[in-house]
Amino acid sequence: MEDVRISFFDTKPFDQEFFDRMNAQYDYTIKYFRSRLTPDSAVLSQGSNVVCAFVNDIISAPVIDALEANGIRLIALRCAGYNNVDFRAAFGRIHVVRVPAYSPYAVAEHAVALMLSLNRKTHRAFYRTRDSNFNINGLLGFDMFGKTAGVIGTGKIGKVAANILRGFGMEVLAYDAFPDEQFAIQTGVKYVDLDTLYRKSEIITLHCPLTRDTYHLIENKSIAKMKDGVMIINTGRGQLIDTPDLIEALKTGKVGSAGLDVYEEESAYFFEDFSTTVISDDVLARLLSFHNVLVTSHQGFFTREALESIAEVTLDNIRDFFQDKKLVNEICYQCERNTCHKQESGRCF
């Protein structure tokens, strides 16, 4: 087998720790770069045949041109989402694989953690009691039991979230472009149209991918259809929500609270420490000023189990590519539209 040489972009210490440990079983050469993959940093891939990239790397047509010129044959995404890849530019030139699921539990549990914190205001209680303030005024929550949750997108993560919420005794309404009726029968989740979900849910949680159809799904018009004081949770992708519209609705109280693990412009801030500088993004700064908004920095996936699984599946994907095996986790622009006719080799092209 050809030597495998991986250029690993946007490396964090935890990436290196988990990949080095797992790579003991594969023995590939991995060069770790802190830099994100951009048209300027693509040059770092020289001498490698694989690029390993994450959610905020920019895999645009110019980047793909540069990677191809450097001899890159495979882009191994170490994430599930792939809205940052120009698949048309990559098709026929560089294969793209991903990690379709690493721990749906990690993300769904994080979504529910956001709900519980926002509802019972534990994020505020923490600061009060640390300051010896044992007053509970303003921390009033509601029983989730008997209330209605709306789950948008019932794939791997949405299903786990729906199950947890059913466990709380909530009514769960769901909307999905491809409903899973069997799942509905087994769990008592009810598929409804989006307007019904908006109208009836006390809590709405987003677990659909970012596509042309779901871009700014949550904006003025959809928010207007929701219950007053609705809680909105987004662990999907930032661009599912029009953030200025959300801010307006938070100001009027139409939206009662929001838990955001993702943000439209997150690539400029998330995963980095800005605690000694001033945030120049006024929209993010406004979001952070609300006591009823909890922002986390795209950490839904961040559990030990998920990191082990990400490292293992990524390195397996790379091994399968170089051993000319079927690429079960390959994705292309045709896969995205469910029109991909995989070759006999089990590859998209």
Judge whether 181 counts as a catalytic residue: no
- Determine, following the binding rule CB under 6 A, whether residue 236 of this chain makes contact with ligand NAI: yes
CA 243/CA 216 separation, integer angstroms: 9
Rg (CA), the chain: 21
Identify the burial level of 55 via C-beta atoms within 10 angstroms of its C-beta, where 0-12 means exposed, 13-18 middle and 19 or more buried.
Answer: buried
Judge whether 237 counts as a catalytic residue: yes
- x/- contact string, 307-346, with ligand NAI (CB under 6 A)? ----------------------------------------
Q: Which long-range contacts (CB under 8 A, 24 or more apart) does 41-44 make?
A: 41/9, 42/66, 42/67, 42/70, 43/70, 44/7, 44/9
User: Judged by CB, which is closer to ligand NAI: 42, or 217?
Assistant: 217
CA 143/CA 131 separation, integer angstroms: 27
Please choose, out of 64-72, 118-126, 235-243, 330-338, the segment that lies near ligand NAI by the rule CB under 6 A: 235-243
Q: Write down the catalytic residue from 78, 95, 98, 298.
A: 298
User: Judged by CB, which is closer to ligand NAI: 8, or 301?
Assistant: 301
Please choose, out of 7-15, 34-42, 147-155, 337-345, the segment that lies near ligand NAI by the rule CB under 6 A: 147-155
Among 156, 260, 263, 327, binds ligand NAI (CB under 6 A): 156
- Determine, following the binding rule CB under 6 A, whether residue 241 of this chain makes contact with ligand NAI: no
User: Judged by CB, which is closer to ligand NAI: 256, or 300?
Assistant: 300
Angle (CA) 308-56-7 rounded to 5° is: 65
3-state SS record for 178-201: CCCHHHHHHHCCEECCHHHHHHHC
Query: How far, in Å, are 170, 256, 278 from residue 234 at the CA level?
Result: 19, 14, 25
**Which residues are bridge partners to 69 per DSSP?**
none
Residue in the shown chain whose Cβ atom is closest to ligand NAI: 155
- Interface size with ligand NAI, residues (CB under 6 A): 31
Helices (H), ranges, the chain: 13-23, 61-69, 87-90, 104-120, 122-130, 156-167, 181-187, 194-200, 220-224, 243-252, 282-289, 304-322, 333-336
Q: What are phi and psi of 210, to 5 degrees?
A: -85, 115
Judge whether 298 counts as a catalytic residue: yes
Q: End-to-end alpha-carbon separation of the chain, Å?
A: 21
- x/- contact string, 163-182, with ligand NAI (CB under 6 A)? ------------xxxx----
Q: Which of residues 261-280 bind ligand NAI (CB under 6 A)?
A: 261-262
**Which residues are bridge partners to 232 per DSSP?**
204, 258
- Determine, following the binding rule CB under 6 A, whether residue 81 of this chain makes contact with ligand NAI: yes
Please choose, out of 56-64, 154-162, 225-233, 284-292, the segment that lies near ligand NAI by the rule CB under 6 A: 154-162
- Determine, following the binding rule CB under 6 A, whether residue 298 of this chain makes contact with ligand NAI: yes
- Determine, following the binding rule CB under 6 A, whether residue 242 of this chain makes contact with ligand NAI: no
- Determine, following the binding rule CB under 6 A, whether residue 233 of this chain makes contact with ligand NAI: no
- Determine, following the binding rule CB under 6 A, whether residue 10 of this chain makes contact with ligand NAI: no
Contact partners, residue 193, CB within 8 Å, separation at least 6: 175
- Nearest approach in angstroms of CB 91 to ligand NAI is 20
Applying CB under 6 A, which residues contact ligand NAI? 80-81, 101, 104, 107, 152-158, 175-178, 207-211, 213-214, 235-237, 261-262, 298, 300-301
Q: What are the catalytic residues?
A: 237, 266, 298
